[in-house]
Amino acid sequence: MDTQGKHISIYDTTLREGSQCVGISFTLADKLSLCMELDRLGVDFIEGGLAGSSPKDDSFYKEMQKRTLTHAKLVAFGQTVRQKTSPANDKMLQSLVEAGTSYVAVFGKTHISHATDILGVTPDENVSMISDTVAYLKSKGKKVFFDAEQYFDGFKADKDYSIRCLKAALDAGAETVVLCDTNGGVLPFEIEEIIKETVTLVPEISGKFGIHAHNDCGTADYSTILAVRLGAGIAQVAVNGWGERCGNANLFTVVPNLTLKLGYGTIPDLTVLYDLAHSSCETANTKMWEFSPYVGKHAFRHKAGTHIDAVVKKASSYEHIEPETVGNTRQFMLSEQSGRAAVTAKVKQLLPRLGFDSSDATLIVDKIKALELEGYSFEGADASFEMLVKDILGIRRSWFTLNTYKVVVFDNDDPKAHGTEDSSGVTASAIVDVTYDNRREITADNGIGPVDALDKALRKALTSFYPAIANMYLVDYKVRVLESRLATASVVRVVIESSDGQRTWCTVGVSGDIIKASFDALVDSYTYMLDNTVM
């Protein structure tokens, strides 16, 4: 099959379908921001939301009338006319017209039992509702997508009726019919069989149909790609696969697969995919799945020593594409499985100007294995690994000397007496004694818990030496109990993620004392920042 140069239109449903994902709720500002990001990405169509369903979606369409998209066409979304109502008197259809978009999409029932049992209309009435809706919107100058809801399940139940619904939409003037696996329960081989038969029965849709797949069987991405190979000209996707229940076909999987693996034209620049995948999670206030193909943080992270050795010699041995193609990066993870080649590659990646030989690598490997036996893990703590390497090579700079520290935790009836209060009525005070260049600072501070108090006291001391410390802040703090059978005597691993607003880095501490483990990770974090900041 010759796909080179053939363009597949990418139709993004994030602003409508994505908002139906559990845990995601877009503000108006979020929707406007994502819409402009998707336009810059270069998708062909952006579905804005269900017109007439809420003040927020209506406000979105009004705001978008004031803005100009450089590439994408905005699509207002709605449904077929209500039974026993004329299109001119249907408020939802009027909202579609008033949304101000040249393209509209309407979904209609194509499963005969959904028409009769859910809408409560006769099969003929449902067909008329489809036809009347499309014809009315066409009369208002709109280009119409008809989303054939439950198409594949409907085809299996009564293919003649589902085909009749498609023809009604096409005869009324629909630009495109979108075949929807709304339940996400139809497997790819069935999708293939039904599409082939549909094109045979309705040859006029060849090259002008779309695909909308849900992921309830975990096959939405594959079903979408398969439909394109069978002639679909439009692929409906959502950012990060967000959508109802288990989600929809994932933009960040479907687009690179179509482009890099099959040679179709999709969006102009794939290198922006990684950044958009992660920034969209920030916008939606949700966590990115780190194992996502192509754009996940782990997509090009290598852990096994044999894999890393091979990738250093020939990247394609364990990477199906170059990470930079989609804006991602290659990373080597360090663990007890790492060999000298893995350590050498990691050191060169983190400290490219450092002189380094095989004997150094052996020392580092041995140290890593010893520390991992104690409970350390350097997989996600590059900053602590960098500090470890500098320690072993004797090149770690001493920015400060921590002489002593002390923490006092209060739990009484008057926590306000100690300055800082948390919801449980517990306060903590910390004192740190730090020296640098014959200058000594003894500082104290209060916090919500002992770690917060220590961080504030240490920050106060170090800022007097290094004002740039004021730019550093905590992003994340994680604690893992390593030997739960020991109960309160268990060793804990603390991982701290920090940032200065431009970079983020992770450090690790391990101890039977959670305060010491936390403080060790904090000290590494401050040291790493000072090592990598122009003073």
Q: How far apart are CA 188 and CA 218, in angstroms?
A: 10
- Residues 207 and 319 placed together within one structural domain of the fold: no
Strands 103-109 and 143-149: parallel
Phi (first) and psi of residue 142, to 5 degrees: -90, 150
Residue with tokens 């220590």: 454
**Does residue 152 belong to any structural domain of this protein?**
yes
In which band, very low, low, confident or very high, does the pLDDT at 423 lie, cut at 50, 70 and 90?
very low
pLDDT at 528 over 60: yes
CB 313 within 8 A of CB 307: no
User: Tokens standing for 222?
Assistant: 């594959």
Do the beta carbons of residue 179 and residue 148 sit within 8 Å? yes
**Model confidence band, residue 314 (pLDDT cutoffs 50, 70, 90):** very high
**C-alpha to C-alpha distance for 372 and 386, rounded to whole angstroms:** 16
Average pLDDT of the chain to the nearest whole number: 90
Query: Which residue is it, tokens 């590439």?
Result: 71
CB 135 within 8 A of CB 109: no
**Residue ending a domain, choose from 284, 317, 337:** 284
Q: Which alpha helices (H) appear in 395-479, and where do they start and end?
A: 450-465
CATH of the domain at 405: 3.30.160.270
Please compute the mean of the pLDDT values over residues 250-276 and round it to a whole number: 97
Q: Are residues 432 and 366 in the same domain?
A: no
Please check whether residues 95 and 41 belong to one and the same domain: yes
The model's pLDDT over 140-150, given as tens digits with 9 standing for 90+, comes to 999 999 999 99
In a domain, 269, yes or no: yes
From 391, 384, 395, select the one nearest 355 (Cα to Cα).
395
State the Cα torsion 422-423-425-431 to the nearest 10°: -20
In a domain, 214, yes or no: yes
Neighbours of 368 (CB within 10 A): 24
- Residue 246 included in any domain: yes
Q: 146 has which bridge partners?
A: 106, 177
Instruction: Report the alpha-carbon distance of residue 438 to residue 403 in Å, rounded.
Output: 12
Does 458 lie in the same domain as 416?
yes
Q: Is residue 453 part of a domain?
A: yes
Instruction: In whole angstroms, give the CA distance from residue 219 to residue 443.
Output: 58
Sheet with 401-411, side-by-side order of all strands? 401-411, 426-436, 439-447
> What whole-number distance in Å separates Cα of residue 429 and Cα of residue 209?
66
Query: Residue 96 contacts by C-beta under 8 Å, 6 or more apart in sequence?
Result: 51, 52, 76, 77, 78, 104, 106, 137, 142
Closest CA to 162 of 149, 172, 145, 173: 149
> pLDDT, tens digit, for every residue of 375-422?
888 877 888 888 888 888 888 888 999 899 999 988 655 545 545 444
Domain end position, chosen among 374, 392, 426: 374
Report pLDDT digits (tens) over 56-85.
Answer: 999 999 999 999 999 999 999 999 999 999
* In contact, 286 and 253? CB cutoff 8 Å: no
Residue 387 within any structural domain of the chain: no
pTM of the predicted protein model: 0.79
In this structure, the answer to whether residues 106 and 38 fall within a common structural domain is yes
**HEC per residue, 325-377:** HHCCCCEECCCCCCCHHHHHHHHHHHCCCCCCCHHHHHHHHHHHHHHHHHCCC
**What is the rounded CA–CA span in Å between residue 523 and residue 457?**
12
Lowest mean pLDDT among 237-241, 252-256, 391-395, 456-460: 391-395
Q: Is residue 494 part of a domain?
A: yes
Does 64 share its domain with 107? Answer: yes
Average pLDDT for residues 357-386, to the nearest whole number?
81
Residues 268 and 329 in one domain: no
For residues 255-266, average pLDDT: 97
* Residues 133 and 185 grouped into a single domain: yes
Among candidate residues 104, 229, 113, 117, the one with its CA nearest the CA of residue 162: 113
Domain count, the chain: 3
Confidence bin at 360 (pLDDT 50/70/90): confident
Give the C-alpha separation, 236 to 134, whole Å. 20
Helix (H) or strand (E) holding 11: strand 9-12
Structure tokens at 530: 């000072």
CA–CA gap between residue 241 and residue 288 (Å, rounded): 11
Strands, E, within 81-219: which ranges?
Answer: 103-109, 143-149, 176-181, 209-213
Question: Are residues 70 and 109 both part of a single domain?
Answer: yes
Position 426 pLDDT exceeds 70: no
Is the same domain home to 365 and 477?
A: no
Instruction: List the domain range (segments joined by +) for residue 322.
Output: 301-374
**Mean of pLDDT values over 502-529:** 91
Coil, strand or helix at 367? helix
- In this predicted structure, which of 283-292, 294-303, 413-422 has the lowest mean pLDDT? 413-422
- 231 neighbors 207 (Cβ within 8 angstroms): yes
Hey, how many other C-beta atoms are within 10 angstroms of the C-beta on 347? 21
Residue 473: both structure tokens together: 């802040």
In this structure, the answer to whether residues 335 and 199 fall within a common structural domain is no
Structural domain includes residue 1: no
What is the distance between the alpha carbons of residues 74 and 145, in angstroms, rounded to a whole number?
12
Same domain, 370 and 409: no
Structure tokens of 396? 């770690």
Q: Is 317 in a helix, a strand, or coil?
A: helix
- Cβ–Cβ contacts within 10 Å for residue 483, how many? 12
Length of the chain equals 535
